[in-house]
Amino acid sequence: MSLSMYQATVPTIIRALENLAAVLEKAEQQIDAKKFPSDAYVNARLYPDMFPLAKQVQIASDISKGGCARLAQIDPPAFEDNETTFPQLIERARKTIAFLQAIKPEQIDGSEERTVTWKTRTSERSMKGQPYLLNHVLPNVFFHCTTAYDILRHNGVELGKQDFLGKS
């Protein structure tokens, strides 16, 4: 049985974002219980030249909704990058999930050979659909979800591999 572009895209990304939201919820609970300032975590980084937690979540959201929308040939919703609290970051992940859940398989299936074009901060890029998904979208989603997890873990939030992977 072959794997469709939709199956490789939407359910995979939804799972990553649901797990990210669960990690953020767990972090919020632990931080609140210890009476630590949550803004210190929202603004935490792994290294000075890396983006903070909030930006990692925003980028995970943006690449998820933008990547799926480009493959489906629809416009993604625009979210302001103004989240400063755990509830706002969790809501951002949930809004992205809701958008992805509205995409139908027939909108993405067949996009393997479709040319996808997008703007970066410095240029415009184009790729065929399948390499775009496998070599750009999914690696970026997982990179930013992993980095968000790592920031929290590095700062003492009690998380484990199962928190990142989620329940089977």
pTM reported for the whole predicted model: 0.96
Domains, the chain, ranges and CATH? 5-163 (1.20.120.450)
Average pLDDT value for the chain = 96
Contacts with 113 (C-beta within 8 Å, 6 or more apart), sequence order: 128, 129, 130
What average pLDDT does this structure show over 60-66? Answer: 98
Does pLDDT of 39 surpass 90? yes
Contacts with 5 (C-beta within 8 Å, 6 or more apart), sequence order: 71, 108, 109, 110, 111, 112, 129, 130, 133
Does pLDDT of 33 surpass 90? yes
Helices then strands, counting H and E runs in the chain, come out as 8, 2
Q: Supply the pLDDT for residue 23.
A: 98
Instruction: Show the tokens assigned to 126.
Output: 């184009």
Instruction: Show the tokens assigned to 53.
Output: 């937690």
pLDDT band at 1 (very low <50, low <70, confident <90, very high): low
Does pLDDT of 13 surpass 80? yes
